[in-house]
Structure 1
């Protein structure tokens, strides 16, 4: 596959054990994307989106292209608590070699569509948040004949509803693009955000969000105190949609917990709040795909942001299978 690199098997490493105890023992690196597997139970597909051209276009800090490998490097040592009869396949990374971000979006969309057709639960590791356009549009294409409504829940400090720049996509535009795509394809879409920071979104974006029927909770409301407000928000969202695509932008967390991101802020939610949200989504039975984006190893401290990203994935999956 053009602009695709497989993950070497030795990349997944951790403590030795004679029985299945850790993720590195379970993950299978797939060199040939067309390899067919018999899926007796649900299979999880990991795919890296090693692209930060969208971040550069959006005037963010470069380095998110290193994010997928940075996250994978800490996942192998995680203790394994998922069912033994599911598969976890690492399909390597999509990489940008010539600056053509639009071509990468087309490739990423086709790849995710293939994963969905194979019956996988895709987990995409970014990379810039522009990933959400090919990821979300792939889900729409997969669902377009089902008459189901797709819900997109974004844990993020930003709406990412900005218009294209000189006609080009970027990390701040994916959800405006998804709204346009849904309209063109006549697909029902509900977009909701949690963690929105007023200082990071001008009034024009709040107005745009209202015009597109976006639901949101500001960062000031995203805490464990009065968590009933969050529960009400999520229940209303889940009641309105049939399937959910979860996207986690790590800059929604406070920089105290996630310094290694493209756009850090001392404000933001803490992991305990986010994990309560992840548990509700995981147990809803509607979650069909997820990604974690904007990890930038250049600004991380002792890999704590990478570990947070990995734990978001592990915790969500663990709660799905409980």
Structure 2
């Protein structure tokens, strides 16, 4: 396994780790060190990778950054009652060019996902999500991305990639593997009307900050259907983070961002999870601790994954059929978890992107809406995407 582009966790962090309680997370995970090299990944479920790349940040002025404070905060936490094995593989340093960094990240994610290890990427600028997406080119045919962000980051795809325009590149660059892109926590005043219209015309999903603050559970089905989850720390409200990290007085609070991380962990489909736009500073304990707790909740979710989406066994689910505007909608409810799915029909006469009956995660409320003759929004968008 070729991970020679990863640099070890700094000795100063390892020295800090030695002083922690034997029960702390840092004493129980496999760490890439100068002395021992890259740890054995057998039976590892989750691997942390830092990426020290921020040159495509639109505000980049030559500054470097480190992830030491996040590691110290994370190592000092205590694990839950978990059966999850965790490794910290160290950092990918800046390459000669940003493309070199992308290549290294793409390789690392591809190797890990093939080994059934979930990478947790801690990054500089969020354009690294593009490299994360490209790692799936040879892994699965269609990819679903969830971006937790105040902005859509569609940008102008004709210009060079930046952290505020990487989604345009994902949509328009070949090979075309993107099926669904969903933004969680967007704030309308940060997005142009053109971008809002484009999200609608592509049948992508978007959830406003206000909707989520009212009911966080609405994002669970979206995260259950994601392969890649990318979190921009500027989606967190200013009061929750340190001075350099502050972006907007409005945003997700600590509890909400941790709940989203846990939903991502519980999802059986999520195979990579990234946290981006970290900006360390001298008064940094609060941001590094928040990021650590997000990682903690993601791993907690991974620990409690339940295989509840195998519908070949009739005794494992209940099936409900309802008629909406002459359209037959078929719902499934897992007996194990009580989670719901809705069937997207296969249209034989159309060049169907998914080639089979596909089950789309949904909520109980979607079934109740269908019973009241209202077509669920997620079903409508997925159905339209299949017809394109």
Q: Tell me the TM-score normalised to structure 1 length.
A: 0.82
Q: 1:193 to 1:91 in 2, by over 3 A?
A: same
Q: Please give the per-residue CA displacement for 1:127-161, whole angstroms capped at 9, x wherever unaligned.
A: 110110001221343213xxxx4321111111111
Aligned length: 299
Q: Which residue of 1 aligns with 2:193?
A: 203
Structure 2 Cα separation of the partners of residues 82 and 109 of structure 1:
32
Structure 1 Cα separation of the partners of residues 87 and 39 of structure 2:
12
Q: Which residue of 1 aligns with 2:217?
A: 231
Structure 1 Cα separation of the partners of residues 202 and 66 of structure 2:
31
Q: Which residue of 2 aligns with 1:132?
A: 129
- Following TM superposition, where does structure 1 have runs of at least 4 consecutive aligned residues deviating by more than 6 angstroms? none
Structure 2 Cα separation of the partners of residues 278 and 38 of structure 1:
23
Q: Which residue of 2 aligns with 1:89?
A: 87
Cα pair 1:9 1:28 within 8 Å, conserved? no
Structure 2 Cα separation of the partners of residues 69 and 153 of structure 1:
27
Q: Please give the per-residue CA displacement for 1:227-253, whole angstroms capped at 9, x wherever unaligned.
A: 1xx434542x357x4x52111111101
Query: Residues 60-75 of structure 1: matches in 2 within 5 Å?
Result: 65-75=64-74
Cα pair 2:31 2:38 within 8 Å, conserved? no
Structure 2 Cα separation of the partners of residues 125 and 36 of structure 1:
19
Q: 1:143 to 1:262 in 2, by over 3 A?
A: farther
Which structure: larger Rg? Answer: 2
More relative contact order in 1 or in 2 (CA 8 Å, sep 6+)? 1
Query: What runs of 5+ residues in structure 2 fail to find an aligned partner?
Result: 305-388
Structure 2 Cα separation of the partners of residues 186 and 170 of structure 1:
20
Q: Which residue of 1 aligns with 2:241?
A: 258
Question: Over the residues paired in the alignment, what is the CA RMSD in angstroms?
Answer: 2.8
Cα pair 2:209 2:252 within 8 Å, conserved? yes
Q: Which residue of 1 aligns with 2:290?
A: 308
Structure 1 Cα separation of the partners of residues 104 and 246 of structure 2:
26
Q: Please give the per-residue CA displacement for 1:265-285, whole angstroms capped at 9, x wherever unaligned.
A: 111111222233333333332
Structure 2 Cα separation of the partners of residues 207 and 173 of structure 1:
16
Q: 1:60 to 1:280 in 2, by over 3 A?
A: same
Task: State the shift of 1:163 in Å.
Answer: 2.0
Aligned-partner SS, 2:240: coil
Whether 2:253 is the aligned partner of 1:270: answer: yes
Aligned-partner SS, 1:222: helix
Cα pair 1:60 1:262 within 8 Å, conserved? no
Q: Which residue of 2 aligns with 1:191?
A: 181
Task: State the shift of 1:258 in Å.
Answer: 2.1
Q: 1:273 to 1:130 in 2, by over 3 A?
A: same
Q: Which residue of 2 aligns with 1:39?
A: 42
Query: What runs of 5+ residues in structure 1 fail to find an aligned partner?
Result: none
Aligned-partner SS, 1:129: coil
Aligned-partner SS, 2:130: helix
Structure 1 Cα separation of the partners of residues 130 and 37 of structure 2:
24
More helix by share: 1
Cα pair 1:3 1:96 within 8 Å, conserved? no
Structure 1 Cα separation of the partners of residues 268 and 143 of structure 2:
13
Q: 1:212 to 1:140 in 2, by over 3 A?
A: farther
Q: Tell me the TM-score normalised to structure 2 length.
A: 0.69
Whether 2:163 is the aligned partner of 1:171: answer: yes
Cα pair 1:48 1:125 within 8 Å, conserved? yes
